[in-house]
Structure 1
Amino acid sequence: MSKAPFIAFDINLETFQEDLSTRLAKSREMIQTLLAQESKTYANFIKPFEMMDERLDQFFTPLSHVNSIKNSEVSQKVYSDVLPIITEYSTEVGQNLEIYQVFKTIKEAEYAALNREQQRVIDLNILHFELSGAHLDDEKKERLKAINLRKSTLTNNFSQNLLDATNAFEYIVTDAADVKGLPQSDIDAATFEAEERTAYKFTLQMPSYIAYMTYGPSQQIREALYKAYTTRSPENADIINELLALREEMAHLLGFENFSAYSLESKMAPDTQTVISFLKELAFSSMNQANEELNALKAMTQDELMSFDTAYYSEILKKEKYEIDEEEYRPYFEQNSVVEGMFEFLHHLFGISFRPVEETLWDEKATSYDLYVGEELRSRLYLDLEARKDKRGGAWMHNWQSHCTNEEDEEQLASA
């Protein structure tokens, strides 16, 4: 079987909403065409339905990605404008009773003759329709639709508020004594000239924040940074409360006791109590070690150990007790060396290899690699590892292409 080429990263924000509307109109037409078939099978209904959904995801994912990693006023507006449109479409399809019934009918007729992957496709789709409320009456469907639209808006607002608050905060240090002890590379990154004197700027971006919390000698500055970080976006408190209420209402509409039970319907844990028991057991098992380490930190200061002190005294303790100075190891953990080391490790464990790909991406520091098993191409991986003001914090991933056989009977490889 021939392999389909990977999609090139290309997005036009100016025409995105119009292009999306065109695609959704075609998808709606295709759904009606599929439903109009007299005899429906996995081959003539489920596979084209899945590929229709896959193509829509492939089109929309770059916008979600750009809004997360190259956030701008333009991307914010486009994403905010199209979010209700795609949410309404997704809810409409997920609540389509006729499609839901077709999946159940095909399962009854063909399930035993299908392979495991095809069976899994059917099972996941049926679960999706049920969790979307396809089986509910019209009044409950309308309320679920309203909940989904509101949730998508709130979730987007939450993320944007957090990014804006992170970027808005700066702490200016004018006394060189307050940066004494920081690694020179972190001092260099913070240094700027202000009114003909040297000053140092620290932000809530992780490289800057962690540097001062770990090495910064001023408890006052550590406290200011810590409080700024932990109290970002106070307006998000109202968003959280509303989201929790909407989740609970949604769960009840779908017949679940609470949102936890709804969430676990698509996960491995059988029930809420199992999860809570596991977390309690985990906490109990680690409590003695945690207390031992905390007491060791408390012994290093005559004052009360505060939350904004733990990283600072942990670094001192490592140096005194274990003679570990992370700065001595920093040259060995340069980004490219770490990536290459990770690839070598994975090759040793699984026999896979990564080969760099030359292509234009969303940022000049983003990279892509093709994954091979032997000489066979299996997938593509995109890496964007550096913090930026226009990039959402944390470690996360966007799926782009799913591994499947496409409508041209080509093998479509996964990418993320």
Structure 2
Amino acid sequence: MNPELTRWTGPEGLPRFDRISDTDFAPAFDRELAAAEAAMEAISANPAPATFQNTVAAMETADEGLNRVLSIFYTLASVDSNPARQALQRDFAPRLAEYGSRTGMDPRLYARVKAVAEDAATLAPQDRRITELALRDLTRAGAGLTGQARARMTEIRSRMAVLTTQFAQNVLADERDYVLPVADDRLGGLPDWLIASMRAAAKERGLDGQIVTLNRSLIVPFLEHAEDRALREVAFRAWTARGTGEGAGGADTDNLPLVEEILALRHERAQLLGFADFATYKLAPEMAGSPDRVEDLLMQVWTPATRRAAEDEERLTALARKDGVNGALQPWDWRFYAERLRQDTHRVDPAAVKPYLTLDAMLGAVFDVAHRLFGLEFQPVEAPLWSPDVRAWKVTRKGRLMAIFLGDFYARPTKRSGAWCSSLQVQHRIGAGQRAIVVNVCNFTPPERPGEPAFLSWDDAHTLFHEFGHATHHILSEVTWPSISGTSVAQDFVELPSQLYEHWLEQPQVLDAHARHYRSGAPVPADLRDRMIAAGLADAGFSTTEYLESALVDLAFHRGAPPADAMDRQATILRDLDAPSAIPMRHATPHFGHVFAGDSYASGYYSYMWSEVMDADAFAAFQETGDIFDPATARRLEQTILSRGGSAPADELWLAFRDRMPGVDALLKGRGLA
């Protein structure tokens, strides 16, 4: 086995990616899976009476080697997929599910953890917390099941691993394989920077001219600026065809049969555990607690959002009429006329904004905010990573190592779409302890030529701040046990730090310091800055409605009996909501990776808005002091939330910071919907 997979010898303790090949993963996986199974078996079969140390604490490190191998593998599989890695994913998924079933449903382990939990009151707070969570997880995994129910649960877990892996690979294939050539005579309305990005995308694929791909940083501005309505429709239909069987992969990448089987298996799993449906099962340990509370929150926002969207649709339709567009406004029209209205109202030309929003400038802003709030300092690190584009920083505070931060910012055909934060290792204090190695992944359009800067849109800049907000959760983590480190919190609490961090991007003092012209170094003009911030709220009815549609469909899919026809059920849900036909779901079912490429956000896509209720109120805590960098408030945020991980229930952490639960008023005001 290649020792580089478990004993990382690169700079600052990073893996040596240049010494790892795809052929290394299978033997490493076999060995470390066997080691993890042996370690868990030793815990379960231990003849000594169960104690915290020989049971719960031992579980924390039982699969450490396996986790190190998989953290490298799944990072590479998501940022640089290839056929070999996809085949390994398909092989690993059912075997990991089988391992999870054996350990998660082991009645001996369940009995031992239960025995420790009975005396949990005598334990230290974090020890008690991981004991409670271990018992909860075993119970929810089915460790208390017997006979036929137990066997069926094992089958479900194994099959789900296969289905969710295939779902993600199908979407990636449709995104990777689609290109739309755009002839020179059909470039009307497209700004120079976008045409340059389209040419760079063509060059990357060995093509001439310019193309549109399904990379969000390319297709969204194309839909906003392309005057050729027919071409907008073609691009939009391709974007929404991912996973439908009508995408680039055809029937081979049809996700609808997978979706229906996933929903049926989730429902069966929940009922085996005594829950009415999957939504009830999934939400029981979250802050929301129940589907009814989630629906109540979403509907409180739905009414003002759709009211604003209807008002905007009238204005956009009037603009379309002037262009001779008859009939109803179509989904491929909305962004185009919304952008025109935004420019007419706020006079914000993206071409005028982008020179001030380079990736390096915005990274400088991200790091400066982290320094002013939390005293963090960032030093570049030269290390052999998976791509020359990936960058690394050593994060310190007063000379103490806090974390290693990696940024993989540019789109590649082999990279999964979207943006996310993950970790190669999490912070903990076991033994000598370790600090986090945290990874932010984005899909920004790379520079057209080497040596030139990468230009971000306003949305891209928000994404950069958002993902680094997640990173702060890892960087500032100060807990004993890996299972409660960093972002290991309730699903509807995990987006609080990320969405809260976005607020600092919109502050004039941050933009004045960092949004500087890439050539002259001049700060963004105050008038342009203010118009840019105001323009960010210009289409709030649309953005809120498309998000809520996805969240409400996700919730409805998992309440009650599973649908026999997912697309018919989706249509019924949207019709019952009286959803605007010109505003489709942000993530339609066939490519809804949050929900169907894994269980994390299943029945939990609402969590972005649940967290937004809190992030709006949390930023208000800074504003109330008169200083958005107020040291006392920042220190309290770190001590009560960011450093605590999952060491206490989410509502306790929130109340320790803010003393009260928030309402939706701050959210509506922040979105301009009040």
Q: In the alignment, what sits opposite 1:223?
A: 233
Q: 1:144: Cα distance to partner?
A: 1.1
Q: Which moved more, 1:134-143 or 1:182-191?
A: 182-191
Q: Kindly indicate whether residue 357 of structure 2 is the aligned counterpart of residue 333 of structure 1.
A: yes
Counterparts of 1:80 and 1:331, CA distance in 2: 43
Give 1:281's aligned amino acid. Q
**Equivalent residues of 1:169, 1:203 under 8 A apart:** yes
**Equivalent residues of 1:9, 1:360 under 8 A apart:** yes
**Equivalent residues of 2:94, 2:162 under 8 A apart:** yes
Counterparts of 2:294 and 2:196, CA distance in 1: 46
- What RMSD, in angstroms, separates the aligned Cα atoms of the two structures? 2.1
Task: Identify which of 59, 70, 78 aligns with 1:68.
Answer: 78
Q: Kindly indicate whether residue 308 of structure 2 is the aligned counterpart of residue 289 of structure 1.
A: yes
Q: 1:398: Cα distance to partner?
A: 2.3
Identical-pair percentage? 25
TM-aligned CA distance change 1:377 to 1:310, over 3 Å: same
Counterparts of 2:310 and 2:52, CA distance in 1: 57
Q: In the alignment, what sits opposite 2:110?
A: 100
1:176-208 superposed Cα distances (whole Å, 9 cap, x missing partner): 332122121221233469xxx974322212233
Q: In the alignment, what sits opposite 2:368?
A: 344
Counterparts of 2:41 and 2:92, CA distance in 1: 23
TM-aligned CA distance change 1:180 to 1:17, over 3 Å: same
Give 2:196's aligned amino acid. D
Q: 1:7: Cα distance to partner?
A: 4.4
Counterparts of 1:55 and 1:255, CA distance in 2: 35
Report SS of the residue matched to 2:275. coil
Counterparts of 2:131 and 2:142, CA distance in 1: 17
Counterparts of 1:246 and 1:160, CA distance in 2: 20
Kindly report which structure 2 residues correspond to 1:114-263, keeping only aligned pairs within 5 A, or say none.
114-174=123-183, 176-191=184-199, 199-234=209-244, 235-263=254-282
1:120-139 superposed Cα distances (whole Å, 9 cap, x missing partner): 21111111101110000032
Q: In the alignment, what sits opposite 2:451?
A: none
Counterparts of 1:139 and 1:65, CA distance in 2: 37
Q: Kindly indicate whether residue 393 of structure 2 is the aligned counterpart of residue 374 of structure 1.
A: no
**Equivalent residues of 2:236, 2:332 under 8 A apart:** yes
Report SS of the residue matched to 1:40. coil
TM-score by length of 2: 0.58
TM-aligned CA distance change 1:36 to 1:331, over 3 Å: same
Q: Which runs of no fewer than 5 residues in structure 2 stay unpaired?
A: 1-8, 245-253, 439-674
**Equivalent residues of 1:68, 1:391 under 8 A apart:** yes
Q: In the alignment, what sits opposite 1:414?
A: 436
Report SS of the residue matched to 2:392. strand
Q: 1:173: Cα distance to partner?
A: 2.2
Q: In the alignment, what sits opposite 2:545?
A: none
Higher relative contact order (CA 8 A, sep 6+): 1
Q: Which runs of no fewer than 5 residues in structure 1 stay unpaired?
A: none
Higher Cα radius of gyration: 1
Task: Identify which of 71, 79, 89 aligns with 2:89.
Answer: 79
Q: In the alignment, what sits opposite 1:385?
A: 409
Counterparts of 1:54 and 1:126, CA distance in 2: 20
Q: In the alignment, what sits opposite 1:8?
A: 15
Q: 1:359: Cα distance to partner?
A: 1.4
1:82-122 superposed Cα distances (whole Å, 9 cap, x missing partner): 2221111111100011111111211223x223232222211
1:31-78 superposed Cα distances (whole Å, 9 cap, x missing partner): 333332413322233222211233322221211111111100111112
1:308-352 superposed Cα distances (whole Å, 9 cap, x missing partner): 111111221122111111111101111111111111112222222
**Equivalent residues of 1:298, 1:305 under 8 A apart:** yes
- The alignment covers a number of residue pairs equal to 406
Kindly report which structure 2 residues correspond to 1:268-283, keeping only aligned pairs within 5 A, or say none.
268-283=287-302
TM-score by length of 1: 0.92
Q: Which moved more, 1:133-142 or 1:181-190?
A: 181-190
Q: After the TM superposition, which segments of 4 or more aligned residues of structure 1 sit over 3 Å from their partners? A: 4-7, 9-12
Q: 1:371: Cα distance to partner?
A: 2.5
Counterparts of 1:137 and 1:77, CA distance in 2: 34
Q: In the alignment, what sits opposite 1:265?
A: 284
TM-aligned CA distance change 1:353 to 1:157, over 3 Å: same
Counterparts of 1:295 and 1:13, CA distance in 2: 54
Counterparts of 1:123 and 1:55, CA distance in 2: 24
**Equivalent residues of 1:318, 1:325 under 8 A apart:** no
TM-aligned CA distance change 1:69 to 1:198, over 3 Å: closer
Report SS of the residue matched to 2:29. helix
Q: 1:9: Cα distance to partner?
A: 4.9
Report SS of the residue matched to 2:364. helix
Q: Kindly indicate whether residue 318 of structure 2 is the aligned counterpart of residue 318 of structure 1.
A: no
Report SS of the residue matched to 1:360. coil
Q: 1:364: Cα distance to partner?
A: 1.2
Give 2:69's aligned amino acid. F
Give 1:412's aligned amino acid. Q
**Equivalent residues of 1:405, 1:412 under 8 A apart:** yes
Report SS of the residue matched to 1:8. coil
Q: 1:18: Cα distance to partner?
A: 2.1
Give 1:188's aligned amino acid. A
Counterparts of 1:8 and 1:113, CA distance in 2: 40
